[in-house]
A = this chain, B = another copy of it.
Amino acid sequence: MNRQFRLKRRPVGRVTREDFDLVEAPVPEPAEGQAVIRNLYLSLDPTNRIWMSDQPQYMPPVAIGEVMRGGGIGRVVASRNPAYREGDLVNGILGWQDYYVAGAPGEMFAPSVIPDGLPIPLPTLMGACGMTGLTAYFGLTEIGQPKPGETVVVSAAAGAVGSVVGQVAKILGARVVGIAGGAAKCAFITGELGFDAAVDYKAPDWREQLKAATPNGIDVNFENVGGEIMEAVVARMNLYSRMPLCGMISTYNDAQRPRYDLSPFLMKRIRLQGFIILDFKDRYIEGSMQLAQWLMEGKLKARETVVEGLDKAPEALNMLFDGSNIGKLIVKI
């Protein structure tokens, strides 16, 4: 059977199992021009929470009754489409389900075939060398544009995007400060990943830690979190600093969107640029090759948290908001 999580209602606050119907549909057969994909891994991302809501957003929200949208990796099990051969691994928006039909009417993005024989584990192809790695890479290099010796701050620093942002910034010669929750994550980013300093936002003195870690102010703020942490970072940003705005996860569960003072952006001539990875879709190959090269050279370390079982997806998504994952959060189906 093809288990499918269909959105039953728009979550209020945290996501719960009850926000979905888990239905069992027959395993699909490919029509002419289609391919059927067995999903292997699901990517859990903060943006999933946005897609469940009906706030204004960069794609249509998931409709009520629709299979929950989500990235994943799967294997072609039947094909009547020359672009896909049986046995191919593919990467795409496969949804929270066991099977995906490529080439079906209304398909938003066609999954892309993963080249054979890549010496990179599949979870890493979803994380540090996949969409989240690319998000970090292009947001940092194209918008943040750190120069050697500059100070880069990244929030959600032990997460999928943040962990790559900090490592790439180190490769580019910046001083890197990560903001993360708890001693274990802080030890991970400074120890395992080589960040110059960590700020534990769960510690009562996090503001003092931030100040101590950024004696020369902040030149690039790669923003993943929003809220009062973001405001404290903005307050320390330098003249002509840059702020790639990747996400504001701390506020996605809030009924009311928080509001911010824009005066510092004027007074310090900060460049703020929102982006999502789709903005760089013409450059995925270039970015992936660079990330893969750094991975092989040992300059980039990949880390994933893998949850077993499709049925765990709704609850597992909350780990992103609780901060209970390290690195890329993945469901193994």
Q: Which residues from chain A sit less than 8 Å from chain B, CB to CB?
A: 55-58, 226, 239-240, 245-248, 257-276, 279
Contacts and interface: CB of A to CB of B under 8 A. Distances in A.
A272 B271 contact: yes
Given A269-B274, A274-B269, A262 B264 contact: no
Contacts of A260: 259-262
Contact of A259 (B261, B266, B273): B261
Nearest to A256: B261
Contact of A226 (B57, B58, B262): B262
Nearest to A273: B271
A136 to B, nearest CB: 16
Contacts of A262: 226, 245, 248, 260, 272
Nearest to A275: B269
Nearest to A252: B263
A144 to B, nearest CB: 13
Nearest to A268: B274
Contact of A266 (B239, B248, B265): B248
A247 B274 contact: no
Contact of A269 (B240, B268, B276): B276
A274 B269 CA distance: 4
A261 B266 contact: no
B276 A263 contact: no
A268 B276 CA distance: 9
Contacts of A274: 265-271
A269 B259 contact: no
A228 to B, nearest CB: 12
A66 B324 CA distance: 55
